Structure 1
Amino acid sequence: MTRPLTGAELAAERRQSWLLEEERRARARGDQGRMEFWLRLTRSRIAKEIKADRRDVYAGFTLICRLFMTAMDKRAAGDQRLWNDLMQYAQKVVDQNPPRN
């Protein structure tokens, strides 16, 4: 027999369900919809990190953006290697860490 879920566990489960449902809706709007959803979510999470006085989130997000821009630039110049490596690594990390809270 399993025990009932605590309030925190129920909240986490509802949040997970909400994230998956919102991503499903965003996916229905295409890749741009998915991108806009995750950008909104990231912006919200960054604001919470700043309020919690974890300002290193600025440096982390800046580096991620610079990496992404570099990969796009190299791909546009004909070198797909960094882009492909970045996409493979990102997919692996995302698959191993599904969204929560």
Structure 2
Amino acid sequence: MNRPLTGEERTAHNRRAHFRKIEESAIRSRGEDKGSADSWLQILKARLVKDARAGNPDIWSGWVAICRMVLSALQRRAAGDRRIWDQVVAYAEQVCEMYPPE
């Protein structure tokens, strides 16, 4: 017999369902890749603002470092060197498997 979810578990489940709903809606309106990317950027922006308002000013410096890393990887990829891009994507997938967004 399954036990009922705790309040924290139910909140996490509802949040993941909300993320999926936003992503599915964006995919329907913008296509698979662009819609998915747009929805996650929207979710991320809201979370960055929320964390900054909660008194975590280091959130912006961390986000800047991540943006610079992705930009560097994109530039190297455009120049014909896919190694850094492939490493960034592999690391991102690994992190998301270990710690899925809640």
TM-score (normalised: structure 2): 0.86
Deviation, 1:2, is: 4.5
Deviant stretches of 4+, over 2 Å: 1-9, 20-29
Deviation, 1:96, is: 1.7
Matched with 1:43 is: 45
SS at match of 1:4: coil
**Letter of the 1:47 counterpart:** V
**Letter of the 1:26 counterpart:** A
Gapped regions of structure 1 (runs ≥ 5): none
User: Which has the higher mean CA deviation after the structures are superposed, 62-71 or 8-17?
Assistant: 8-17
Instruction: Count matched residues.
Output: 100
**Higher RCO (C-alpha 8 Å, min separation 6):** 1
TM-score (normalised: structure 1): 0.86
Select 2:55's aligned residue among 13, 35, 53.
53
User: Which has the higher mean CA deviation after the structures are superposed, 71-80 or 8-17?
Assistant: 8-17
SS at match of 1:38: helix
Deviation, 1:38, is: 0.7
CA distance in 1 between counterparts of 2:22 and 2:4 reads 26
Matched with 2:98 is: 96
**Letter of the 1:63 counterpart:** A
Matched with 2:67 is: 65
CA distance in 2 between counterparts of 1:22 and 1:37 reads 6
Coordinate RMSD, CA, aligned: 1.6
